[in-house]
């Protein structure tokens, strides 16, 4: 349904307190801010030591002072990444439109990290202050046989695990990971199996839905929520195809369990939609200042979860990659020090890869993200 035909109700969504996302609980804002200042101070040290691209070094000082006030006061600059986004090499049982990892055409590669190597990435991240590893692909993580082992290994390093899953099939590895202490974001994009299937294109049998205290939802969301209610949340992606359902889901569940909402930026078909994926009321650093993404072949990714302009850290290691990337590579630099008119963190997010607000549009707060409607 076109967004212009949907009646959005901010009061219905924002009148009640929302359940904090797992990341907000495990990595408080003050930790994110402290890590951001430490990383920017470390970039400044790289520049002073003559280890930066001269063109980037010239842009750094005014941008850093404007976007990260207080970084100059950091006594011992060092790389800190409280959050690691990690993709494991695995295919998928759905073919979602606009998938950023192209999981529908996924094939195993010789370059993919093996299991010990994926665990070692977490070890390296833990040495840099990592508190949480969030598994975001490549495909459906319930197909990773050693997923429970991965959760146990991460826990040995003092790192909690968050897993994104489509929960199409009841997979023993996913149940094992949940029982091992992992937190799950379960895909919940629609209020009917028919719409869910049309958006995800399951391979084989489609989704089964139930209706209960969580409303119409995938059957496995109910089962996993009953199994570990404090460690199960939902991921809601939205565009003009499912906006009404997405608004209903967020409004209904936001004070019951963590809701991670994000737009389908690449698949929007209604020109009235303008979206930004930032919180509306909290001024905080962009995630590239305090988190990082490592792909399934050991690639360090700049400013997104995809491999465009990424580079391998298999030989150099995570620390060396993060030490140099943001002062020697333009894509990484821009992800951390993007220009904005206002200069605050929210404005930085808003101007990073998003479209300008159309005249006459209306801002509607979803509690986690924002949607703009003409």
**What domains sit in the chain, N to C, each tagged with a CATH number?**
3-373 (3.20.20.70)
Whether 138 contacts 88, CB under 8 Å: yes
- CA gap 64, 72 in Å, rounded: 9
- CA gap 327, 79 in Å, rounded: 13
The SS3 assignment for 196 reads: helix
Token output for 22: 């797992």
- CA gap 153, 345 in Å, rounded: 34
- CA gap 348, 358 in Å, rounded: 18
**300: β partners:** 294, 311
Q: What is the pLDDT along the chain (374 residues), one digit of tens a residue?
A: 343 334 444 334 444 568 999 999 999 999 999 999 999 999 999 999 999 999 999 999 999 999 999 999 999 999 999 999 999 999 999 998 777 666 667 788 999 999 999 999 999 999 999 999 999 989 999 999 999 999 999 999 999 999 999 999 999 999 999 999 999 999 999 999 999 999 999 999 999 999 999 999 999 999 999 999 999 999 999 888 899 999 999 999 999 999 998 876 444 434 333 333 333 334 568 889 999 999 999 999 987 666 778 999 999 999 999 999 999 999 999 999 975 444 343 443 333 333 333 333 333 344 333 333 33
What kind and span of H or E run contains 33?
helix 29-48
Neighbours of 30 (CB within 10 A): 9
Q: Which has the closest alpha carbon to 237: 366, 135, 374?
A: 366
Residue 339 makes CB contacts below 8 A (sequence gap 6+) with 63, 351
- CA gap 72, 85 in Å, rounded: 27
Token output for 170: 């009841």
What kind and span of H or E run contains 21?
none
Whether 15 contacts 288, CB under 8 Å: no
The distance in angstroms from the start CA to the end CA of the chain is 15
């Amino acid at each position: 349904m076109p967004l212009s035909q949907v009646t959005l109700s901010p009061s219905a969504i924002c009148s009640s307190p929302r359940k904090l996302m797992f990341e907000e609980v495990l990595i408080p804002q003050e930790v994110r801010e402290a890590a951001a200042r430490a990383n920017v101070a470390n970039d400044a040290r790289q520049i002073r030591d003559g280890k930066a691209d001269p063109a980037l070094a010239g842009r750094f000082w005014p941008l850093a002072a404007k976007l990260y006030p207080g970084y100059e006061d950091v006594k011992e600059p060092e790389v800190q990444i409280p959050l690691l986004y990690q993709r494991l090499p695995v295919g998928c049982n759905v073919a979602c439109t606009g998938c950023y990892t192209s999981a529908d055409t996924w094939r195993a590669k010789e370059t993919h990290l093996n299991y010990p190597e994926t665990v070692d990435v977490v070890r390296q991240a833990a040495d840099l202050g990592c508190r949480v590893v969030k598994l975001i692909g490549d495909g459906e993580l319930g197909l990773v046989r050693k997923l429970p082992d991965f959760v146990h290994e991460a826990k040995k390093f003092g790192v909690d695990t968050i897993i994104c899953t489509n929960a199409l099939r009841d997979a023993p590895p996913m149940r094992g990971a949940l029982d091992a202490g992992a937190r799950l974001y379960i895909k919940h994009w629609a209020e009917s199996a028919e719409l869910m299937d049309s958006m995800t294109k399951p391979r084989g049998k489609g989704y089964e839905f139930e209706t209960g205290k969580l409303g119409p939802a995938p059957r496995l969301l109910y089962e996993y929520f009953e199994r570990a209610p404090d460690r199960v949340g939902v991921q809601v992606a939205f565009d003009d195809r499912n906006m009404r359902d997405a608004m209903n889901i967020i409004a209904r569940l936001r004070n019951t369990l963590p809701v991670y909402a994000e737009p389908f930026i690449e698949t929007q078909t209604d020109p009235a939609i303008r979206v930004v994926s930032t919180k509306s009321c909290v001024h905080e650093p962009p995630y590239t200042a305090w988190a990082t993404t490592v792909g399934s072949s050991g690639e360090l990714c700049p400013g997104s979860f995809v491999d465009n302009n990424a580079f391998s850290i298999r030989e150099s290691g995570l620390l060396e990659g993060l030490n140099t990337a943001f002062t020697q590579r333009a894509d990484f630099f821009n992800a951390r020090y993007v220009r904005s008119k206002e200069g605050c963190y929210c404005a930085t997010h808003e101007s990073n890869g998003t479209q300008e607000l159309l005249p006459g549009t209306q801002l509607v707060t979803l509690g986690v993200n924002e949607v703009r409607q003409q």
